Amino acid sequence: MIVGGYRIELEPRLKSPRWLVYVVPVVSLLFAFVVAGIFLLGTGHNPFTTYGKLIDKGYTSYYGITDTLGLATPLICTGLAAAFAFRMNLFNIGEEGQMYLGMIGAAWAGIVLADNLPGVAAVPVVMLSGAAFGALWVLVPAVLRARLGTSEIVSTLLLNYVALNLVNFLIFGSRTLWRDPSPFPDGQLVADSARLDRFGTTNVYPTLLIAAILAVFLWLFMRFSNYGYETSVFADSPNTARYAGMSASRLTVSVLLSSGALAGLAGSMYVVGPAGKVDPGLLQVGLGYAGIVVAALARYNFVAVILTAVLFAGLRVGGAALQISSDPVPIAIATVIQGAVLLFALGGEMFRKNRLRVRRIAGSPVRGAA
């Protein structure tokens, strides 16, 4: 780009200094708030008081942070799901649908199986059932990708719409075991033994611990296990993986199925936690798609997903609270902030890898003959 006699260029950094890894996200976040602040000013709100309220309702007040942690719980799982696939350069965009299937699978086990199981086994079985349904939902895209090279981006995305309609059908369009027999369309509650108690009067469930432990476990597992090693070789250079005798299709299918299982687990956390049923209300929340954003913000690091999920959930919770405060701010503002955070985080990534150089153009610009 040329501006008034200066040439502005991005050039790759030979080495990214270590501190940039920490500074860039913080600066990106600040920029995002500045941009959203301009929107706030434009709509007649004081950005500082609005942000103050947002932070209070999202993070610092007792019920704010507990609501945030509750919402972050399934979001950690969908974030892990997206990160897991992406580490092998696979783009699972279907967390949303896999999460619905997880909900359906968990509810099925909770309704049909739980009463026949010993008490301690009920919750684990219900959650595993949800994970299995989530994994099955990605089986076809995974096999198509492994055998025919069909883009998993398109196939997993398309299945989201199928899953959405499936939930609508189960609850609104038919009479199945998932639907409560009462005339009002709603999901049938699972057995009591299949549900966990929340902590006190908060919206936090023990599933939060499960999600956090899972994140740390995945981080350790992918770092030190042979499976993690093989996926990183494959992601880096498929030819090298083939040379070393690794099976590309086995790795592709297993990674996508694991990713689907993690997203399914997110759905089952709703069932054993707050919802206790197939809850059509979940369809509005978009936690599957948000998981992709959370994973990208975490730069596909499993442990960082915990932090970005909490950050993201807080924006949601705080944003929703602003709507019903004394000086109501449209929910769109919270969405603007979320979008701005993502954009600047990705933009910041560019500055971590490149640096800006401004040069005086000496004499007349040399027209590129070559």
The distance of closest approach from Cβ of residue 223 to another protein in the complex, given in angstroms and rounded to an integer, is: 9
> Residue 246 or residue 343: which is nearer to another protein going by CB?
246
* Nearest residue to 345 (alpha-carbon basis) of 303, 306, 292: 292
The distance of closest approach from Cβ of residue 256 to another protein in the complex, given in angstroms and rounded to an integer, is: 21
Contact residues: another protein, CB under 8 A: 14, 224-226, 228-229, 232-233, 236-237, 239-245, 363, 366-370
The distance of closest approach from Cβ of residue 233 to another protein in the complex, given in angstroms and rounded to an integer, is: 5
Q: Cα–Cα distance between 19 and 167 in angstroms, integer?
A: 46
The distance of closest approach from Cβ of residue 228 to another protein in the complex, given in angstroms and rounded to an integer, is: 8
CA torsion 336→337→340→342, rounded to 10°? -110
Q: Cα–Cα distance between 142 and 136 in angstroms, integer?
A: 10
The distance of closest approach from Cβ of residue 356 to another protein in the complex, given in angstroms and rounded to an integer, is: 17
> Residue 66 or residue 231: which is nearer to another protein going by CB?
231
Q: Which residues contact 39 (CB under 8 A, 6 or more apart)?
A: 333, 336
Q: How far is CA 217 from the centre of its chain?
A: 18
> Residue 232 or residue 354: which is nearer to another protein going by CB?
232
Cβ neighbours of 160 (radius 10 Å) = 20
> Residue 121 or residue 246: which is nearer to another protein going by CB?
246
> Residue 198 or residue 299: which is nearer to another protein going by CB?
299
Q: Which residues pair with 357 in a beta bridge?
A: 9
The distance of closest approach from Cβ of residue 225 to another protein in the complex, given in angstroms and rounded to an integer, is: 6
Burial code (b: 16+ CB inside 10 Å, e: under 16) for 119-128 equals eeebbebbbb
> Residue 148 or residue 369: which is nearer to another protein going by CB?
369
